[in-house]
Amino acid sequence: MALSDSQYQEIMRDYERTRDENRRLSEERRAEIYREIPEIKELNDSVGSIARERLQLLLNQDESAGLDLSSIPESPYQAISARRKTLLRAAGYPENYLEPIYDCPDCRDTGYITLLNGLKEKCECLRRKEAAYTQRMANFNGISPEDRFSRLTYRYVQGKDLDMLQKTVGTCLDFVRNFQTAPGRNLLFLGTVGTGKSFLSGCIANELLEKGCSVVYFSAVSFFDTLSRYVFSSADKESLYNYCQNLYNYDLVIVDDLGTEVLSSFVTSQLFAFLNERGVRKKSVIISTNLNLSELRDRYSDRVFSRLSKNFDICKFSGPDVRMCQKLGE
């Protein structure tokens, strides 16, 4: 789900509020230090006069007049900065207490980073804000904040089904634990209805969100419907481009119930493009489906099946419908 212009502007206003608040905090710190350490105010005031003096000498220099610029230190600001830090330390303050305050030092609370070629790209903090906004608006499309590994129960499974579930949970925990150091890992959840696929997807999503990762969830139906609207209904190519860039750059995309969408050549081609581009960018995907591997191969193209079978850790679920068991109190 891409953001509308008004939603994007709301995020930008949030950045502006952050900058205003940090400026206010910086001003309070400066006023505090000027009260406690008056010499620092004198040092800061001297910076302007030194700059003006050097500029005037440079403008008026006349070799015949024998003006000696060496009488003004080449780097007076370094000496002033060092003295400021010494005074701050002596008074029990951090050396950087008077430096500008940023929630995100990378983009300085603007949402964008300027590259060496002068172009700008979205900062990771902006991508996380966009993902969080999307998730709030969609209410996770069915993923509950209550989905937690701590709430996982093995009560309704036994035998080989229990062994399989325990192995899968171990894979999921390892996925979360190494998510930020081993990018691009993917999970494919295969199993019948009610065996825990969506629940474990939600557990992973909530864990990674708490780590500051950008996570977005789609049902397969909403995933392809949204893509279709942007591809066929929007004359604004920039909106389509931005939507795809967001889709490709989220840290994790979860597609639930693959196979419930209406199959078409559009679905197959878009699924391949999505898997391929996420793979190139080493971005993770979790796909859950009620289909088995043979059914996936028959339903989608060989290229799609190749991506799923080779680039995903396959986790199989079996056993009773846990949700039904819980309702019946078994």
Greater pLDDT, 156 or 99: 99
124-138 vs 5-36: helix crossing angle, rounded to 10 = 130
Q: Dump the DSSP string for 159-210.
A: HHHHHHHHHHHHHHHHHHHTTTTSTT--EEEEE-TTSSHHHHHHHHHHHHHH
Confidence (pTM): 0.62
Q: What is the predicted pLDDT for the residue at 67? A: 46
Greater pLDDT, 78 or 59: 78
State yes or no: pLDDT of 11 exceeds 50: yes
Could you give the strand order of the β-sheet that contains 313-317, starting from the edge strand earlier in sequence? Answer: 215-219, 252-258, 284-289, 187-191, 313-317
Name the CATH topology of 124-328: Rossmann fold (3.40.50)
State yes or no: pLDDT of 293 exceeds 90: yes
Average pLDDT, the chain: 84
CB 319 within 8 A of CB 156: yes
CA-based nearest residue to 167, from 320, 324, 317: 317
Average pLDDT of span 291-298: 94
Cα–Cα distance, 254 to 227 (Å, whole number): 15
Q: What is the predicted pLDDT for the residue at 111? A: 94
Q: What is the predicted pLDDT for the residue at 269? A: 94
State yes or no: pLDDT of 323 exceeds 60: yes
Greater pLDDT, 41 or 62: 41
Q: What is the predicted pLDDT for the residue at 215? A: 84
Cα–Cα distance, 312 to 184 (Å, whole number): 10
Greater pLDDT, 137 or 170: 170
What pLDDT digit, counting tens, does each position of 186-225 carry?
999 999 888 889 899 999 998 988 887 878 888 999 899 9
Q: What is the predicted pLDDT for the residue at 1? A: 46
Structure tokens at 24: 């206010």
Banded model confidence at residue 234, pLDDT cuts 50, 70, 90: low
Average pLDDT of span 90-115: 93
State yes or no: pLDDT of 73 exceeds 70: no
Q: What is the predicted pLDDT for the residue at 6? A: 66
What pLDDT digit, counting tens, does each position of 127-165 carry?
888 877 766 654 445 567 788 999 888 888 889 989 999
Cα–Cα distance, 195 to 216 (Å, whole number): 22
CB 239 within 8 A of CB 7: no
At residue 255, the 3 state secondary structure works out as strand
What share of the chain in percent tops pLDDT 90? 50
Greater pLDDT, 225 or 325: 225
CA-based nearest residue to 318, from 158, 152, 142: 158
Q: What is the predicted pLDDT for the residue at 242? A: 73
Q: Dump the DSSP string for 6-59.
A: HHHHHHHHHHHHHHHHHHHHHHHHHHHHHHH-HHHHHHHHHHHHHHHHHHHHHH
Q: What residues pair up with 216 in beta bridges, in sequence order?
A: 253
CB 99 within 8 A of CB 89: no
Average pLDDT of span 110-136: 84
